[in-house]
Amino acid sequence: MTITSSGGEQARVITLSEAGVAQAVFGPLHRHLAHIQEAFRDPNAPRGAPAYSVTLDAQGDRLTVRARTAADLERVQRIIDALADLARRKGKIREGDVLAAISFSEGASDTSTPLSLPQLGGLTLRTPRQVHYVEALRDENIDLIFGVGPAGTGKTFLAVAAAVEALKQERVDRIIVTRPAVEAGEKLGYLPGDLAEKVDPYLQPIWDAFRSQMNENDLKARRERRQIEVAPLAFMRGRTLTNAFVIVDEAQNSTVLQMKMVLTRLGEGSRMVVTGDPSQIDLVRPDQSGLAHAITILEHIPGVEVIRFATQDVVRHRLVAHIVEAYHRDESGRVG
């Protein structure tokens, strides 16, 4: 029930009586509730006035919500309902789930329907742009997808998750992930070991993404059957990749010729995802990066989709988005 005070403030008590649901939704030390309340911070609040337009007070399995407006009250209700539903299905709530619920509740035009949190491979998508990206990854009418933007936006991780989904559903026969062996000016020749040992450290983030989607035994078996292959970009020359889900990672470090080479590897029944961050080019000649060039000449071709991520899509530690923005401001200032 909603109660309106004489000052216009609205209050509502939400009870989450199922075992463990309230604890999961509220979070350790009520950390999840702190994130929700922070979303209602009023930057224009006068000195001495409450900094938040919504306050949350949890006691046991009861959450008391006080809000300045009915709209804010309903938004909190939808966030809590979505998280409670997720807790009932998954048994736990992560910080990312909370931030996703906050993001998708903002500016929602239809408040009469329950708030849904889109999923991919057990992952909760965090932003509308991530949803657009995953829709493109699943769209059989799109054969070439570019995912570009800052670090931490889920470009590679979601591409791997979509590739694993396609492989398990037998929509493709194999997954091939490739990336240039160029990292921060280091050269492979200076590393110890044979070629596989030299290359493996550069590919570790890819294997981490695969391990989030399948157990170690399944991953090992599929690698042995060559259903999953991860290799440097140079290994793609001369190949035709058929019935495959191809991911070209760290593409900002490919040259124009390398990009042309890998894009023309596409064979029948295959689709390709090209990911990269144009602000992190490690080539000696940054102007020779093949990523921006490819987008410029291919973006308007049917069957090609370009998803541009922004700092608002960063899903790592909350500081990462601020770090990205700070570096962008610094670089813009030096260029100007």
**Residue 256 — pLDDT band, cuts 50, 70, 90?**
very high
DSSP-derived pairing of the beta strands 304-308 and 144-148: parallel
The phi and psi torsions of 86 (rounded to 5 degrees) equal: -65, -40
| Model pTM score | 0.79
Of the candidates 47, 83, 249, 257, the residue with the CA atom closest to the CA atom of residue 157: 249
Residue 83 has pLDDT above 50, yes or no: yes
∠ CA 26-29-34, rounded to 5°: 60
Q: What is the mean pLDDT of residues 85-114?
A: 84
Condensed to tens digits (0 to 9), the pLDDT of residues 183-237 reads 544 455 554 554 445 556 667 788 888 998 999 999 999 999 999 998 888 888 8
Q: What is the mean pLDDT of residues 313-325?
A: 71
In order of their start, the domains of the chain are: 2-117 (3.30.1370.10), 128-335 (3.40.50.300)
| Mean pLDDT rounded to a whole number for the chain | 86
pLDDT of the residue at 152: 85
* Lowest-pLDDT range of 76-80, 278-282, 300-304, 320-324: 320-324
Cα dihedral 133/138/139/140 (nearest 10): 140
* Lowest-pLDDT range of 125-129, 134-138, 203-207, 209-213: 203-207
Residue 335 has pLDDT above 80, yes or no: no
pLDDT of the residue at 79: 95
Instruction: State what percent of residues in the chain have pLDDT above 70.
Output: 86
Residue 162 has pLDDT above 90, yes or no: yes
pLDDT of the residue at 200: 61
Q: What is the mean pLDDT of residues 89-115?
A: 83
Identify the sign of the CA torsion 62, 68, 71, 76.
Answer: negative
Contact 36, 56 (CB under 8 A): yes
Contact 289, 159 (CB under 8 A): no
Q: How far is CA 155 from CA 8, 129, 280, in A?
A: 44, 11, 14
